[in-house]
Amino acid sequence: MKTVGILGGMGPAATVDLFNKIVNQTPVNEEKDHLPIVIYNNPQIPSRVDAILRNGPSPLPALIQTAQELEKLNVDSIVMPCHTAHNWYEELQDAIKTPIINMVTNTYNILNKNKFYHHKKLLLLATPGTIERKIYSNQFMNSNIELITPNEIEQRTVSEVILDVKKGEQLPSKSLNRLLNILQNYEQKGVVGVIGGCTEIPLIFPYVKNSMVKIDPTLLLARRVVLEMSETNLHNQNLN
């Protein structure tokens, strides 16, 4: 059986969310039909946002070390439930042999193929590091989708919500209520959907009751993992 490795800990709740979604998205008749998964939950990886915005220590050495530990366990592919960490995706992939499924590229490919989103506006909710390095904006640059990012004041609220989720604050929080007002304003301006461009953001989607489409890259990644690994495992079973 092919095995997927989760390079996690950025943060732990987002890692649990991805694991849970992989399990829930896997069609099974009994428990042995589930995918083999190895999780390295490493919350000691330095802050990706601090590294980008405040000259903090680079997370790359810790990312490489964590990925190499997963390689030692013979995983066949790696997923990384942290959008901002994809700023170092190429360097990380160059440092290991195991293929890493790119969460950002996967999200873009799915949205860009869906004609419903063509010539529509989508709001990106992400860390300031992801926005600063244009991790999503560069992908959408030549697409038919208009990607909107919050202004500086709105981004402070987004960052507060992300931090609240990382700290395990009880929801809904004051920052979340402010964010809901921001989303209402964007909806009135014709924005049809919101992208959870930080892995903590989908965790607040149950509290977002407006009609905007909630695009969950964690869920899209889970589906990609299930599709790829299930097809590979089924192929190997047929060969045997």
Pair (18, 98) in one structural domain = yes
Pair (190, 202) in one structural domain = yes
Summarize the confidence of residues 11-30 as an average pLDDT.
96
Q: How far is CA 2 from CA 34, 37, 179, in A?
A: 11, 9, 41
Pair (109, 78) in one structural domain = no
Task: Quote the number of domains for the chain.
Answer: 2
What was the pLDDT predicted at 238?
Answer: 44
Q: Which positions are catalytic?
A: 82, 198
CB 158 within 8 A of CB 126: yes
Pair (55, 151) in one structural domain = no
Residue bearing tokens 């990384």: 80
Geometric angle at alpha carbon 57, from 37 and 68, rounded to 5°: 30
Between CA 184 and CA 210 the distance in angstroms is 7
- pLDDT, tens only, 185-197: 999 999 999 999 9
Q: Would you say residue 240 has pLDDT above 50?
A: no
Q: Would you say residue 234 has pLDDT above 70?
A: no
- pLDDT, tens only, 107-143: 999 999 999 999 999 999 999 999 999 999 999 998 9
Between CA 131 and CA 150 the distance in angstroms is 9
Torsion angle (degrees, nearest 10) of CA 75, 81, 82, 85: 10
Token pair recorded at residue 85: 């960490």
Between CA 51 and CA 46 the distance in angstroms is 8
- Domain with 147, as residue range(s), is 104-216
Q: Would you say residue 219 has pLDDT above 80?
A: yes
Pair (139, 210) in one structural domain = yes
Pair (137, 183) in one structural domain = yes
Between CA 86 and CA 170 the distance in angstroms is 28
Residue 129 belongs to a domain with what CATH number?
A: 3.40.50.1860
